């Protein structure tokens, strides 16, 4: 019974709870049991909040018993990336410098989840301060891909993606700055969504790169992701960069799932060398599938996309170097070296050297360099100009097509340890996801099969214009439905890592 | 142009990172590679192209001048490394600002 | 005296300005009197128990985000318009990055190359009294305003364990973040040329005029002693006729108007000595010492600060609509200098007299007293003399005295009608200040009526004459001037309640009759 409950989608769970077939308490209990069973191998969670989860579930059951109207995700369990502040759980951002920090406030999204009756099971592992593509930069050890425990679950939202893929929760939330929701989604065989920038509140999301960070959903189905998208999104007066516009009708689009008459652009810059053969094969098949479903496919060159990665690795570290300056041992967090003789400056420097991992240090120094007097124009300034050109490429493309597609990431999940000492190799994982972060438009990854050479999941990336998130859900749902029908069983049944 | 080790040491000081010598060597080598890679942005012809600091163009987002309840001092100080006289106690500061 | 190993050489001021031309500049920070902070809803008030005016935003907690206070933007535009600036059509906030324990985020949200207001001016006048010590007549300078921008204030540290309470020698510090996030407007002048020997006075007058302007705009408490108005002064010297500007120093910790003047003067004297010796003035930040009136070099920094400014990504640009700007312009009050000129003419007083009123902080009070019926002369007289003295004695401000302009007008009217004389009027003032009631109530309560009834006075007059026969004799033979002593005696006898001029008439009449 427990196993069956953990195999349900979020939509099915919510309906079952509303219909009285099962209690929220049972659902939560089943997922906590699953977590206990698989966590030693997956290590998706940094903190499991069992008591709080049970209390939240009980509250949903009480409301149902009292005859209250329950929202579309009431009683559904969720894994929350440890970058969101939670007033009743620690928030570490995967970093030793915040080990044990308990925020005195909830993120807006945290509050919206609680108000919706969603049951937060705990905080998931991540690359430290969201910098990375594998969770190997976590100060608390990496998470493991449920498809193959010797491989990475992607990053930086690898913990949330792994939790969903391992059936520890039907829903997860991550943040996407350079691809950190879509890439782990792709390599774990789940749906990962980066909504339009500003469509989701960043209040309470510990900042990595402020102009790029985008909270978003992870789920095993496109519809589930859409349901979560609608619950978490929307304008927030506490976030000055949040968009004051209605949430696009993503649930309706996910249900509609019909691509006939749509135009789809393939980005040729993203289908060349460097893409794993099996990834390219599955991608090409997905495009052909879309054609067979009634979409018109055409090639749309986006010439500045190939400069997006270097531009990103200037803009993001620059903002991060400033955002992470507050971790200085004065007000909260780790303090090292305060023996009564050292100066504040020394204690700050010792604490940061000890409390930050290598990748964070690299990016802080890179960002400091790019913003330095004398270098600003050539690096940060130039990168912001490239950003404009990437935006213009998208605008021109979307005049011709409804959505753009590409593989989500060049390879399937790579082995743990393979790229840890090669930053540039690690950065390449974000090659196809970065342009949408720079331009702020919507993009999602939907599983489109397994690469034949390694039997690991491949993601299809669908990119839509700013505030047209519904379009990508429509296309994603269509692909998912067709592939599921062809396969005859859920993709994750093939995940052998936890067998 | 490769980045000199002294420059990397300077960056570490600016960023308040007390790096050990071997760590500095290791990071300097890696930064050198990364900087060369990101310098590719300079290949792009961008004369007259305005920089973008905000991808989704919004202007004039304000809040009204109304009071909102504060945190109490106990909460504010509860996770401070050191507290004295209801204030954050910090080690001696060297530089005037 | 000085603890430095080499005594600082100075050139006497007059000598210094005879051979060098000073160039001054001022950077003034003003804390706005909005209800809440710049980026959050915490109170923007001075004081309060430490660390009680905080929220995740102004404490800079991870995940927090700023949202700008509309009123702070409006106040800044108001200041810019009053200073004749252009208001930007589009501008952004920027991050100024540096590490310091009183900054919760280790960056300050400010403005860099896109300030909200630019390119204005403020006319500053030194009247006769202010220019006289420098041996010249009144002078008006037009001080160019380079920029006016908005930024957040920092917390406050107290340095513990050292001898002086300053950073040098302290063992540790205690930080209170209440002040962090309070809106701060920075007003930067263009270099002010041509002040010559009046440079210190010009600097003083600029800060004073700016302070009065800001007060009139209602945007700040502008209390230098509370830190809601802080000024740094830049000074450089150019050898006369050289055509080159010198290296400037920046002097901080200038906490009063008087200190502004003294700091500029000292720097001129010091820099002249440096240049005379053939050495170069070091570009540095210096610290002004109130007690000694000198400036000393701040701790020299190994490298100049690189603040790595970039546009604040958590905030969207400001594009004040032109109709909003015009609305603000239309709501500007009459500016102080214009108002003073208008009232000076209306009241028929001299510039020096207006300066006295201004320096006493009595302009509003005098205006209101005149509106309540008093003559300008009377209004000035009572506020600037008796009441100013009493305010001084009790350490209060004139505006805080428990007496209203209407009260003062009433007292002046009673004196004018002869019901009171000056001495009695002062007693009435005393009574009103003591809370005994309105002027009429005090008069009734204390029985302070001028005695002008001749019959009542006759007895006192006769007594005085009888008690001072020599004086009486002098008067009989025509030395009328001596009557003063007898008038004094009668006044004393009547407890000052006699009408002095009537008493004089009666005495003279009595003595020149017989």
ipTM of the shown complex: 0.96
d(CA B53, CA C315): 10
C-alpha to C-alpha distance for C440 and C452, rounded to whole angstroms:
18
pLDDT tens per residue across span A391-416: 999 999 999 999 999 999 999 999 99
| Least Cα separation, residue C3 to chain A (angstroms) | 25
| pLDDT one-digit tens code per residue, A287-306 | 999 999 999 999 999 999 99
Binned at pLDDT 50, 70 and 90, residue C491 comes out as: confident
Whole-number pLDDT of residue C1: 40
SS3 C372: coil
Per-residue pLDDT at C2: 41
Task: Answer whether residue B97 shows pLDDT above 70.
Answer: no
Whole-number pLDDT of residue B96: 64
Cβ atoms of residues A220 and A190 within 8 Å: yes
Residue percentage of chain C with pLDDT more than 70: 97
Contact B42 A383 (CB under 8 A): no
**pLDDT tens per residue across span C38-51:** 999 999 998 899 99
Phi then psi for residue A215, to 5 deg, are -65, 150
Predicted confidence band at A209 (pLDDT cuts at 50, 70, 90)? very high
Inform me whether the pLDDT recorded for A127 exceeds 50.
yes
Tokens in use for C78? 């108001």
* Tokens (6 digits) for C80: 């810019």
Q: What is the mean pLDDT of residues A263-271?
A: 94
Q: Which residues of A touch C306 (CB under 8 A)?
A: 372-373
What tokens were used for A244? Answer: 């004051």
Using DSSP's 3-state secondary structure scheme, residue A248 falls into: coil
Mean pLDDT value of segment C414-433: 90
Q: Is the pLDDT of residue A153 over 60?
A: yes
**Which residues 30-59 of B are in CB contact (within 8 Å) with A?**
30-31, 33-35, 37-44, 46, 49-56, 58
User: What is the pLDDT, as a whole number, of residue A373?
Assistant: 87
| Chain A contact for B73 (CB, 8 A cutoff) | no
d(CA C236, CA A170): 70
- Judging contacts by C-beta atoms under 8 Å, the chain B residues touching residue C251 are none
Pick from A320, A344, A384 the residue to mutate for testing the C interface (most C CBs within 10 Å): A344
> How large is the average pLDDT for residues C270-275?
95
Closest chain C CA to residue B67: C41
**C142: part of which helix (H) or strand (E)?**
strand C139-152
Q: Specify the pLDDT at position C4.
A: 45
Residues 26-85 of A with CB under 8 A from B: none
Q: What is the pLDDT of residues C214-262, one digit of tens each?
A: 999 999 999 888 889 999 999 999 999 888 889 999 999 898 999 999 9
**Cβ atoms within 10 Å, residue C321:** 11
Locate the chain C residue with the closest alpha carbon to B88: C175
Tell how strand A191-194 and strand C285-288 pair up. Answer: unpaired
pLDDT band at C514 (very low <50, low <70, confident <90, very high): low
**CB contact A329 to B (< 8 Å):** yes
Measured N-to-C along each axis, helices A358-371 and B21-38 cross at an angle, to the nearest 10 degrees, of 60
Kindly tell me if the per-residue pLDDT of C3 is higher than 50.
no
Residue B56: predicted pLDDT = 82
User: Is residue A97 scored above 80 in pLDDT?
Assistant: yes
Residue C351 pLDDT level (bands cut at 50, 70, 90): confident
Full-model pTM: 0.91
Q: Which residues in chain C have Cβ-Cβ distances shorter than 8 Å to A211?
A: 313
Q: Where are the alpha helices (H) located in C218-359, listed in sequence order?
A: 257-276, 322-330, 336-347, 351-359
What does A336-392 look like in DSSP terms, one character per residue? ---SSSS-HHHHHHHHHHHHS-HHHHHHHHHHHHHHSTTTTIIIIIHHHHHHHHHHH
Which chain B residue's Cα is nearest to C90?
B59
pLDDT at C375 over 50: yes
What pLDDT is attached to residue B95? 73
* Interface membership of B13 toward C (CB under 8 Å): no
Put simply, the answer to whether C172 touches B90 (Cβ < 8 Å) is: yes
Least confident of A22-31, B66-75, C349-358, C371-380: C349-358
- What's chain A's average pLDDT? 97
Nearest to C60 by CA among B89, A123, A207, A80: A207
- Measured distance CA(C174)–CA(C159) in Å, rounded: 7
Examine the pLDDT at C449 and tell me if it is beyond 80.
no
Q: Specify which residues A171 forms β-bridges with.
A: A78, A219
Local structure of C320: helix, strand or coil: coil
Cross-strand partners of C185: C30, C150
Find, in chain C, the residue whose alpha carbon is nearest to that of A206: C63
- pLDDT, one tens digit per residue, over A419-470 is 999 999 999 999 999 999 999 999 999 999 999 999 999 999 999 999 999 9
Residue A241: its chain B contacts at CB < 8 A? Answer: 54, 56, 58, 61
Nearest Cα neighbor of C40 from C173, C183, C235 is C183
- Please report the DSSP string for A415-439 in residue order: BTTSSTT-HHHHHGGGTTTHHHHHH
**Model pLDDT for residues C303-346, shown as the tens digit of each residue:** 568 999 999 999 999 999 999 999 999 999 999 999 999 999 99
> What residues 242-261 of chain A have any CB closer than 8 A to a CB of chain B?
243
User: Looking at the predicted structure, is the pLDDT value of residue B27 above 90?
Assistant: yes
Q: Is the pLDDT of residue C432 over 60?
A: yes
SS3 content of chain C, % helix, strand, coil (to 5): 40, 20, 40
Closest by CA position to C199, among listed C274, C285, C268, C276? C268
Write the pLDDT tens digit of every residue in B31-87: 999 999 999 999 998 899 999 989 888 999 999 999 999 999 999 999 999 999 999
For A210, which of C175, C306, C313 is closest by C-beta distance?
C313
The pLDDT-based confidence of A199 (bands split at 50, 70, 90) is very high
Q: Which DSSP category does C386 fall into? A: I
Chain B residues with CB under 8 Å of C40 CB are 68
CB contact under 8 A, A322 and C308: yes
Angle among Cα A489, A492, A495 to the nearest 5 degrees reads 125
Confidence band, pLDDT 50/70/90 cuts, at residue B4: confident
């Amino acid at each position: 019974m427990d196993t069956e409950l953990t195999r349900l989608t979020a939509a099915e769970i919510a309906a079952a709870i509303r219909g009285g077939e099962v209690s929220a308490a049972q659902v939560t209990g089943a997922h906590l049991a699953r977590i206990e069973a698989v966590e030693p191998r997956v290590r998706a969670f940094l903190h499991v909040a069992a008591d709080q989860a049970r209390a939240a579930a009980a509250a949903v059951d009480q409301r149902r018993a009292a005859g209250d109207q329950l929202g579309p995700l009431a009683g559904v369990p969720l894994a929350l990336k440890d970058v969101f502040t939670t007033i009743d759980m620690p928030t570490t951002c995967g970093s030793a410098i915040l080990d044990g920090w308990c925020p005195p406030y909830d993120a807006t999204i945290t509050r919206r989840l609680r108000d919706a009756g969603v049951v937060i099971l705990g905080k998931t592992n991540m690359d430290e301060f969201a910098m990375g593509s594998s969770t190997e930069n976590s100060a608390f050890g990496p998470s493991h891909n449920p498809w193959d425990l010797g491989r990475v679950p992607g990053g930086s939202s690898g913990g949330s993606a792994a939790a969903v893929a391992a059936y520890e929760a039907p829903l997860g939330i991550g943040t996407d700055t350079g691809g950190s929701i879509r890439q782990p989604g792709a390599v774990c065989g789940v749906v990962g969504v980066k909504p339009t920038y500003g469509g989701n509140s960043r209040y309470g999301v510990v900042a990595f790169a402020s102009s790029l960070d985008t909270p978003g959903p992870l789920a095993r189905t496109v519809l589930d992701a859409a349901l979560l998208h609608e619950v978490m999104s929307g304008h927030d007066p506490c976030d000055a960069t949040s968009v004051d516009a209605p949430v696009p009708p993503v649930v309706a689009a996910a249900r509609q799932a019909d691509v006939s008459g749509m135009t789809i652009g393939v980005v040729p810059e993203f289908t060349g060398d460097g893409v794993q053969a099996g990834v390219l094969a599955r991608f090409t098949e997905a495009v052909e599938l879309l054609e067979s479903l009634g979409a018109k496919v055409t090639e749309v060159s986006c010439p500045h996309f190939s400069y997006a990665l270097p531009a990103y690795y200037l803009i993001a570290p620059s903002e991060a170097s400033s955002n992470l300056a507050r971790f200085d041992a004065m007000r909260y967090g780790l303090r090292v070296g305060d023996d009564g003789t050292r100066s504040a400056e020394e204690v700050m420097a010792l604490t940061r050297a000890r409390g930050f991992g290598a990748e964070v240090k690299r990016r802080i120094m890179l960002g400091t360099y790019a913003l330095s007097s004398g270098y600003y124009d050539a690096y940060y300034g130039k990168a912001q100009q490239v950003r404009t050109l990437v935006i213009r490429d998208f605008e021109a493309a979307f005049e011709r097509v409804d959505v753009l597609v590409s593989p989500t990431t060049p390879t399937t999940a790579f082995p743990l340890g393979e790229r840890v000492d090669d930053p540039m190799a690690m950065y390449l994982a974000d090659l196809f996801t970065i342009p949408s972060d720079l331009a702020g438009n919507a993009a999602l990854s939907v599983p489109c099969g397994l690469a034949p050479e390694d039997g690991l999941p491949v993601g299809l990336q669908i990119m839509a214009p700013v505030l047209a998130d519904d379009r990508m859900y429509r296309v994603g749902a269509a692909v998912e439905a067709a592939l599921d029908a062809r396969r005859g069983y859920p993709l994750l049944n093939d995940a052998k890592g936890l067998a | 142009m490769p980045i000199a080790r002294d420059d990397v040491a300077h960056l570490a000081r600016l960023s308040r990172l007390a790096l050990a010598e071997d760590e500095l060597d290791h990071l300097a080598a890696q930064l050198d590679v990364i900087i060369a890679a990101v310098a590719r942005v300079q290949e792009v012809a961008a004369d007259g192209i305005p920089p973008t600091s905000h991808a989704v163009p919004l202007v004039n987002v304000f809040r009204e001048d109304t009071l909102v309840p504060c945190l109490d001092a106990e909460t504010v100080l509860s996770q401070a490394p050191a507290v004295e006289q209801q204030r954050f106690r910090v080690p001696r500061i060297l530089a005037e600002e | 005296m000085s603890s430095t190993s080499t005594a600082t050489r100075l050139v006497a001021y007059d000598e210094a300005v005879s051979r060098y031309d000073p160039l001054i500049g001022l950077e003034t920070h003003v804390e706005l009197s909005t209800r809440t902070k710049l980026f959050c809803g915490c109170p923007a008030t001075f004081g309060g128990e430490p660390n009680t005016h905080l929220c995740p935003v102004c404490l800079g907690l991870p995940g927090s985000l700023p949202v700008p206070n509309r009123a702070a933007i409006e106040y800044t535009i108001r200041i810019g318009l009053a200073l004749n600036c252009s208001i930007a059509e589009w501008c952004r906030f920027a991050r100024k990055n540096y590490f310091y324990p009183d900054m919760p985020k280790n960056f300050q949200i400010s403005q860099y190359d896109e300030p909200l207001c630019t390119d204005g001016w403020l006319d500053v006048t030194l009247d006769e009294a202010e220019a006289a010590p420098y041996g010249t007549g009144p002078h008006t300078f037009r001080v160019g305003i380079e920029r006016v921008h908005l930024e957040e204030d920092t917390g406050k540290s107290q340095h513990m364990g050292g001898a002086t309470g300053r950073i040098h020698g302290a063992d540790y510090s205690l930080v209170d973040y209440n002040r962090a996030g309070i809106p701060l407007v920075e007003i930067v002048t263009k270099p002010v040329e041509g002040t010559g020997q009046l440079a210190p006075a010009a600097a003083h007058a600029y800060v004073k005029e700016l302070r009065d302007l800001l007060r009139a705009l209602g945007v700040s408490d502008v209390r230098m002693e509370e830190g809601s108005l802080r000024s740094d002064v830049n000074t450089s010297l150019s050898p006369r006729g050289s055509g080159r500007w010198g290296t400037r120093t920046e002097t901080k910790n200038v906490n009063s108007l008087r200190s502004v003047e003294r700091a500029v003067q000292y720097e001129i004297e010091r820099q002249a000595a440096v240049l005379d010796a053939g050495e170069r003035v070091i570009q540095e930040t210096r610290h002004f010492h109130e007690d000694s009136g000198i400036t000393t070099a701040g701790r020299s920094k190994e490298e100049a600060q690189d603040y790595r400014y970039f546009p604040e990504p958590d905030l969207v640009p400001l594009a004040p609509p032109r109709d909003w700007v015009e609305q603000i312009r239309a709501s500007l009050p009459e500016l102080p200098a214009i108002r003073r000129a208008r009232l000076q003419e209306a009241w028929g007083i001299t510039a020096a007299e207006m300066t006295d009123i201004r320096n006493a902080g009595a302009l509003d009070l005098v205006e209101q007293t005149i509106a309540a019926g008093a003559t300008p002369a009377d209004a000035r007289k009572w506020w600037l003399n008796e009441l100013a003295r009493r305010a001084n004695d009790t350490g209060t401000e004139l505006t805080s005295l428990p007496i209203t302009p209407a009260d003062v007008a009433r007292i002046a009217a009673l004196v004018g009608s002869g019901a009171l004389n000056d001495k009695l009027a002062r007693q009435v003032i005393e009574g009103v200040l003591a809370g005994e009631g309105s002027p009429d109530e005090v008069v009734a309560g204390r029985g302070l009526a001028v005695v002008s009834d001749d019959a009542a006075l006759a007895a006192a007059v006769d007594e005085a004459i009888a008690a001072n026969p020599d004086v009486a004799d002098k008067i009989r033979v025509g030395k009328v001037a001596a009557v003063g002593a007898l008038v004094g005696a009668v006044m004393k006898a009547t407890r000052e309640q006699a009408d002095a001029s009537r008493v004089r008439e009666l005495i003279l009449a009595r003595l020149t009759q017989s």
